[in-house]
């Protein structure tokens, strides 16, 4: 099984199989928390304008600009807040600066797109391994076009666990991510040094960093099940359940 890590989303990337999208501070962590809190569906859209087009009584808008909740949105991009948000049975439409763009890059070609973070790292890796036939790729979102230490460290955690699940053939990007992971004994140290963490500190949301540094706290994995307009539709999946009759996550992850 090939194991690939791309440190930034670029338009020329092509994925033949499974992609784990990582934006650990904060959108992929927050996505898991919304589903943990009972959200029925997540719509990931590429812009604030696209998000606002979905607004109605049964839809909640979540996102950030400069780390803060945009005007007119119901929720921000804090995983701490998402876990306690009143989203039961609702559709949450998310637009963030880095994570949603990375997911759209992956969705252009991949068979399956999963959202991964430290919070659901082991579950995401297990599900990726179950789905993959030839390759697992990890796509780090980065921060505004620059490589992010936080996402690269998380990619290393995922790569290491994938190696424990079975034999893998790591490409150079995966070897770099593994080396970064080995350089930090504490996830919080790696995340705290990142530009994303520094930016959150500047707007008073630094408490999201230690929350995002928790490893394997959730078994929930957001999986791409389709598309409506500009929105990628993610639903809840659990490792070991995709072959159960009637499970919606059994659908192919690329846009229909």
Q: Can you give the pLDDT of all 256 residues of the chain as single tens digits? A: 999 999 999 999 999 999 999 999 999 999 999 999 999 999 999 999 999 999 887 899 999 999 999 999 999 999 999 999 999 999 999 999 899 999 999 999 999 999 999 999 999 999 999 999 999 999 999 999 999 999 999 999 999 999 999 999 999 999 999 999 999 989 999 999 999 999 999 999 999 999 999 999 999 999 999 999 999 999 999 998 865 333 333 333 332 2
Asked if residue 223 lies in contact with residue 251, where contact means CB atoms within 8 angstroms, the answer is: no
Q: What is the pLDDT of residue 57?
A: 76
Which residues touch 233 (CB under 8 Å, ≥6 apart)? Answer: 41, 42, 43, 224, 225, 226, 227
Q: What is the pLDDT of residue 243?
A: 52
Q: What is the pLDDT of residue 141?
A: 97
């Amino acid at each position: 099984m090939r194991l690939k890590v791309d440190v930034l989303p670029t338009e020329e990337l092509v994925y033949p199989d499974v992609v784990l999208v990582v934006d650990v501070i904060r959108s992929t962590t927050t996505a898991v928390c919304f589903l943990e809190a009972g959200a029925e569906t997540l719509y990931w859209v590429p812009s604030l304008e696209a998000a606002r087009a979905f607004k109605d009584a049964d839809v909640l808008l979540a996102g950030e600009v400069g780390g803060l909740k945009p005007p007119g949105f119901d929720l921000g991009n804090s995983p701490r807040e998402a876990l306690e948000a009143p989203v039961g049975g609702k559709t949450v439409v998310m637009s963030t600066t880095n994570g949603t763009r990375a997911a759209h890059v992956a969705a252009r070609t991949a068979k399956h797109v999963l959202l991964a973070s430290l919070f659901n790292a082991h579950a995401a890796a297990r599900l990726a391994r179950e789905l993959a036939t030839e390759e697992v790729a990890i796509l780090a979102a980065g921060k505004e076009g620059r490589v992010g230490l936080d996402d690269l460290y998380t990619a290393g955690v995922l790569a290491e666990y994938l190696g424990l699940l079975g034999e893998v053939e790591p490409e150079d990007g995966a070897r770099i991510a593994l080396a970064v992971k080995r350089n930090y004994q504490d996830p919080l140290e790696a995340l705290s040094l990142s530009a994303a963490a520094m930016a959150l500190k500047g707007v008073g949301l630094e408490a999201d960093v230690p929350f995002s540094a928790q490893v394997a706290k959730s078994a929930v994995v957001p999986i791409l099940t389709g598309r409506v307009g500009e929105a990628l539709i993610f639903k809840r999946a659990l490792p070991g359940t995709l072959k159960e009759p009637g499970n919606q996550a059994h659908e192919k992850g690329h846009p229909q």
